[in-house]
Amino acid sequence: MSETHASPTQPGQNPAPPAFEARGSGGGAPRESRAADLAARAAQLDAHDGLAKLRERFTLPDGVVYLDGNSLGALPSAVPDALTDVIRRQWGELLIRSWDESGWWTAPERIGDLIAPLVGAAPGQITVGDSTSVNLFKALVGAARLAAPGRTKLLVDATTFPTDGYIAASAARLTGLELVPVDPADAPTAFDGDTAVVLLNHVDYRGGRLHDLPALTAAAHAAGALIVWDLCHSAGALPVGLDAHAVDLAVGCTYKYLNGGPGSPAYVYVAARHQGAFDSPLPGWNSHAEPFAMTPGYEPAEGAARARVGTPDILSMLALESALGVWEGVDIEDVRAKSLALTDFFLECVAAYVPEGRVEPVTPAGHGERGSQVSLRTENAREVMAELISRGVVGDFRAPDVLRFGFTPLYVGFADAERAARTLGHIFG
């Protein structure tokens, strides 16, 4: 899976994915005539979808359109049998021997190398384990310790997921930095000689806006700062290019587009050039150069393993490893093309089915600024989403007035998008 083709993620560009090119909604055609052929067009698009067969790799409930994979991904079909083997044979029969014989000890970096191609990283830079929050704390404090002396500011995305803000504030207190909230759109103007570390989200969790990772990373580096990216809403949905764009550190969860299961372990990326000097604020026996020497003094392991802390959560870890098997033979560029086509088609269907003025798209229309979700603002959003779910269309709600629909191209099709929009139209009469 190549990560060298970064163009689909660049703001300001609006490429038409050739495999999924759909008709425009303009031309003055009456709303009724446009709406009449949407189901037929969805069927045609699904028939020509090269990724459609991947839906067979997942277990999904019959009759349900699942558009909440940006919160919890669907169950990969291979996971139950894989976990049964882990529990009955590896744990039940081999017991402690499985740390060596079943490869438990090497799982954090081995599984990190499975994630690496999906985020554009070479092997040996990602460790899996702990939660996103814990990994973010490690990354921010580690970045502050790598920063040039005399710098005083930690800049954080003002629209970030709340926990990121909480963790950033704690990291700032610990390292003596001033926490400065910034709008990602205006962030480069805030980067200066006092900036030590920058924390940004690749995709905004509420509105689905995709931020310009290459340009913002370059701007942070031009100011002499290090940058940490939160990839929770982009990894597995679009190309990231961590190595290509010289990102310093990154974190992400695995239970959204990576389908690792509820509470599956997160990951941290430490660029190879920083690993020798990376000083984790949470040194544990698992990241020691000689874990079983049990020495009173701490000596960090080489490479990505120095980002470990304690004993890995093996059951969740190996469920994730099995889940990542769905990516075999899949190119993330193809996933991005389908994602853009799906969200384009859904927005067209919403415009056709929902009475004018009842919903307002929050997610940017431009492909270069859109993640893999569509957020719609409406009155009584909580009640509208509850009604959608009762009718078999599962999205989610974000306060105070946002309906969120996540499009996971590995198992969501165009007929799903059409049905979801049609059901929303029915709710609005």
CB atoms closer than 10 angstroms to residue 162: 8
Any idea which residue has 């799982």 for tokens? 107
Asked if 225 and 198 count as a contact pair (C-beta separation under 8 A), the reply is yes
Cα separations in angstroms, 341 against 4, 75, 247, 285: 21, 24, 28, 47
Q: Is 255 a catalytic residue?
A: yes
Structure tokens belonging to residue 290: 């000689």
Neighbours of 75 (CB within 10 A): 16
Catalytic residue check, 161: yes
- Which ranges constitute the DSSP H helices of 212-278? 213-222, 272-275
Query: Scanning the structure block, which residue is given the tokens 């993330």?
Result: 332
For the chain, give the number of residues.
429
- Which tokens is 114 given? 């499975």
Q: Which of 179, 235, 233 is nearest to 208 (CA)?
A: 233
Alpha-carbon distance 152 to 186, whole Å? 19
Q: Nearest-5° angle of CA 27, CA 32, CA 36?
A: 100
Tokens representing residue 6 in the block: 């970064």
- Element (DSSP H or E) covering residue 99: helix 98-101
User: Residue 95 is encoded by which pair of tokens?
Assistant: 């017991």
Distance CA 138, CA 278 (A): 10
* Ramachandran region, residue 380 (left: φ > 0; alpha: ψ -120 to 50; beta: rest): left
Q: Which of 308, 404, 419, 422 is catalytic?
A: 404
Q: Given 255, 269, 353, 414, which residue is catalytic?
A: 255
> Please, what's the largest Cα pairwise distance for the chain?
76
Q: What is the dihedral of CA 339, 342, 344, 346, to 10 degrees?
A: -140
Does residue 256 have an active-site annotation? Answer: yes
Helix (H) or strand (E) holding 200: strand 195-201
Q: What are phi and psi of 197, to 5 degrees?
A: -140, 145
The residues annotated with a catalytic role in the active site are: 161, 230, 255-256, 404
